[in-house]
Structure 1
Amino acid sequence: MRHTVEWKVRLYLFEEDGTTKARVVLNTGTNEFTGHGAAHRNPTDRDVPEIGDELAAGRAMHDLGRQLVEVAERDIDGVSRPGTGPSTRPETAWPLPDNMRGG
């Protein structure tokens, strides 16, 4: 089955007093997801706005990605055949390294 869609992504960056905040909004046409991220500049570091933008944007996209994986896993559970569960189906993605797993 062929399947082609276009998802729209908008990334907003806000910087004030050494703190950069990012908000990324994904519109799938049927759902909308929002990821958030922030970066804080050490007062002793040079003011290089691009670095704050990159960190905050990356963190917002990481948050968005986490949400998409969670939704996909719930959707998989919802369409699983009776009698199957998380222990009987294969992983849906590569496992995260230990340093990227949530607490």
Structure 2
Amino acid sequence: MLTAQLGTGLAHCALGQVKVDNPHRRGEARIMLRPEQITLTPLRPEQYNAASCLAKVIAIDFAGFISTLTLQIISSGETIEIKTISREDLHVGLTVGLDIMGQAHIFAE
């Protein structure tokens, strides 16, 4: 769940601009993305400019097949949690690029 400012079919939030499922809503709202809509890509410093949203992994809670990552968005300093499939290439201190697929769901007012 993220707080966002809605307008013209987009939500402006900590992850940048995200398409939403209701292009007519405007104003502040809470949006949700499913875990499978978020792709995490480990990045080297020379790749940072190509990423749409950069975050630093600040904590990982391993729970078997699924891990909960605590990420700090580099542009805003905001902290978010994301559930993802456990992967060996993710570790605390790593900078990742976040890419969003599909539309975010807008919760009712």
By the TM > 0.5 criterion, same fold? no
Going by fraction, where is strand more abundant, 1 or 2?
2
Query: Which has more radius of gyration?
Result: 1
Does 1 or 2 have the higher relative contact order (CA < 8 Å, sep 6+)?
Answer: 2
Tell me the TM-score normalized by structure 2.
0.28
Tell me the TM-score normalized by structure 1.
0.29
